[in-house]
Amino acid sequence: MLVDVRLLATGNMLVQVALMAAVIVAAVLAKRKYLDRHCLVVRVAVVLQLIAIALVMLPSLLGYLTKESPGPFFLAETLVHHTLGLAVIALWVYINLAMRGAVKASGRLVGYMRAAFIMWLLSFLIGVHLYLVIWVWS
């Protein structure tokens, strides 16, 4: 099955906008102490993000690393974007394990959650820039 890569990338961009909005909503829910809803929204957002990484972004990254010849700045920006994204996932796993007592949390969990939010936001902004560079400005 042939896939329109531009359509896929644009679809993924829209998904990322929706997920960013969801994460902001989750932050507001936490601020207002609706913690169960906060956990639910974050959980759904992370699962959808994992699917987007596995099906769209990881294959795209591997393609750029092995077949394309991107400039050094572009490659560095891509790797920073992906590293931030993976760090968010890792933090989410760590926070959940700590909440269940499977690991000992060092410090307050809210600090890790705020760090995850900031990393997600940074990764999103870099991702928007990458999308514009690849599909709009080129």
Partner 1 sequence: MNARAETIKAVARAEAGALSLVFRANPVPNPSSTLGGGYLTGVVQKGVVPALDGRELDEEGVGFGVPLIKRGPKTILPGSASLSVLKSGQGEIWTVEYDLNLLLRAGFGDRRSIDWPGFYWFQEGFSWLHRRYPRARGAVTRGSGLLRAFGYQPRLEVIPGAGVVRAVYTFPGSLETIHVDMSFRGVKGEGAQLVVASELGARFSRYRDSSGLHLEGSAIGTWDKVRADEASFISPADGLAFTLGQAGGAEMYRGRELSAGSLAWAGLAYVLDAGADSLSCNIRLGIPR
Choose one: 24-32, 50-58, 108-116, 127-135; the region binding partner 1 (CB under 8 A): 50-58
Q: Which residues, other chains included, contact 95 with Cβ-Cβ below 8 Å and sequence gap of 6+?
A: 109, 112, 113, 116
Q: Is 67 in the site for partner 1 (CB under 8 A)?
A: no
Query: Half-sphere exposure of 12 toward its Cβ, with a 13 Å CA cutoff?
Result: 25
Of 62, 76, 125, 132, the one binding partner 1 by CB under 8 A: 62
Q: Is 96 in the site for partner 1 (CB under 8 A)?
A: yes
Chain Cα centroid distance, residue 25: 15
Question: By the criterion CB under 8 A, which residues form the site for partner 1?
Answer: 43, 50, 54, 58-59, 62, 65-66, 93, 96-97, 100-104
